Amino acid sequence: MANLKEIRTRIVSVNSTMQITSAMKMVSAAKLKRAQDAITRMRPYAEKLKDILENASASVGVEGSVFSQQREVKNVWVVVVTSNRGLCGGFNNNVIKEARRVIAAHKGANVQVIGLGKKGADFFRKTAQWSEGLNPAPNAIFDQLSFEHSSQIAQKLIDGFAEGKVDKVVVIYNRFKNAAVQMVTAEQLLPVLPPAANTNTASVDYIFEPAKEQIVSELIPRSLKVQLYKALLDSFASEHGARMTAMHKATDNAGELVKGLKLNYNKARQAAITGEILEIVAGAEALNG
């Protein structure tokens, strides 16, 4: 059994760690509220815009649009959305695992990773899929998350597809459900998928003003920018939810560890006192004898 000094040092160390994890939990809880409000406000707009795009596509037809061209997949860009910081459970590892699965599924194609978030960028920077030209500042997007910054990244993806530099763009991120649940999601951003055959979107009647081709050509890029921004907001809220949950569990585990250490400390202290008493008794008996 460890001596009393070692156990006391261990208790102090665990208590310090528990204070840190508890503070991180409270900080993440405060940030989660703001992030959750942002994605809650954004998601209905993004989903409605996506529905409008599908309805318009069914009514107008986007076959003539450059963003709907189904080309032979030779070049693929995989946008991996992670966090800049760790201590959030399996949040980043789950996205990286899904990204590796997507990369493996495109065997034979030239796959390049665009890392949005330091953790994903640090992982893929060591692999053959990393390209510095596509990743000028992977961690900058979350330093000041806004639609303007997100639109700049989305515009690069749109331009790359329109110019033929890439044939397919996939976004991988954690979709926020609640503080304890985040769902890893892989969405095809480009080319724009046609509306599902089992929906009745084609029956929607639209009056187009101005020309329908102009409307579709402006609606698709706007929708793509909104979809990417929604993915970033989802990931941002999921990060704080995952970190709050992880720090809550870490705090609870530290508390249980402190209880166990205190029990061991009391046992060691009692054993030491008992040993001292036995030594005194034995000494007294030796003097009497």
Strand partners, 181: 178
Full-model pTM: 0.83
Helices (H), the chain: 4-60, 91-105, 118-124, 147-162, 212-288
**pLDDT reported for residue 190:** 87
User: Model confidence over 51-110: pLDDT tens digits?
Assistant: 777 666 655 554 557 787 888 899 999 999 999 988 898 999 999 999 999 999 998 899
What phi, psi does 149 have (nearest 5°)? -65, -40
Cβ contact 113:124 at 8 Å: yes
- Report the distance separating Cα 106 and Cα 103, nearest Å: 5
CATH number of 22-246: 3.40.1380.10
Structure tokens at 235: 């990931």
Q: Respond yes or no: is residue 126 known to be catalytic.
A: no
Q: Encode the chain (289 residues) as per-residue pLDDT tens digits.
A: 568 888 889 999 999 999 999 999 999 999 999 999 999 999 899 888 887 776 666 555 545 577 878 888 999 999 999 999 888 989 999 999 999 999 999 988 999 999 999 999 999 988 888 888 887 676 778 888 889 989 999 999 999 998 999 999 999 999 998 888 899 999 999 888 766 644 444 455 666 677 666 777 778 888 899 999 999 999 999 999 999 999 999 999 999 999 999 998 888 888 888 888 888 888 878 777 6
Catalytic site residue from 88, 171, 220, 228: 88
Dihedral of CA atoms 208, 214, 219, 225 in degrees, nearest 10, equals -170
**pLDDT reported for residue 202:** 47
- For 30, half-sphere exposure in the C-beta direction (CA atoms, 13 angstrom radius) is 5
Hey, where are the domains in the chain? 22-246
**pLDDT reported for residue 198:** 43
